[in-house]
Amino acid sequence: MLKIKNNDYAFLKGIECRFWQVEENLYRLQTSFKEGLLGIGFKRYENSKTNEFLSDKVFITLSAEQIQSAFRRENYCNYQAGKYYLENIILEKNEIILSPELETKKKLGLHLYDDRRIHLPYDSFVNEVTDVWEERTPIEGFKFDVEPIVYLKKDGVWLVEL
């Protein structure tokens, strides 16, 4: 199943991590647990045994200067002649939520603040969207050393394993 990664991300020693600021000039980088990460300074969460969400996560806290590259990632798709933001996947309902981007709202005659979304069955999404991509934008104060656009599906062909 496709994973939607909309958030702030950073690279440390080639490892992609979600990240956020914890205090002035200190940032928490979090990624999935792999044994070798403990050897380079990552730690397990103290409550990882009791918190299911954190049980497979590790973190490290660093200054901005120690982070190799950082960016904001947003996922989009082309669906029915419009550009949509991939908002979420609801596993229990096997559906994906698409939110029309501003130009698509205008084409559809929707008001700028209209927050209607499309709840699309996941199988329909996989088969009907023509393109799916990540837009990566720089975060002020950090080096930006990644491709700005990464296609997951291009011209109807999936480029990643689902």
Per-domain residue ranges of the chain: 7-70, 72-158
Question: pLDDT (tens digit, 0 to 9) for every residue of the chain, 162 residues total?
Answer: 888 899 999 999 999 999 999 999 999 999 999 989 999 999 998 876 666 778 889 999 999 999 999 999 999 999 998 999 999 999 889 999 999 999 999 998 888 888 889 999 999 999 999 999 999 999 999 999 999 999 999 999 999 988
**What's the angle, vertex CA 130, arms to CA 112 and CA 109, rounded to 5?**
20
Q: Residue 50 has what DSSP assignment?
A: T
Taking alpha carbons only, the member of 66, 59, 77 closest to residue 130 is 77
CA distances from 109 to 80, 81, 98 (A): 15, 14, 17
| Structure confidence at residue 48 (pLDDT) | 63
Strand, coil or helix: 97: strand
* pTM score: 0.86
- End-to-end Cα spacing for the chain: 5
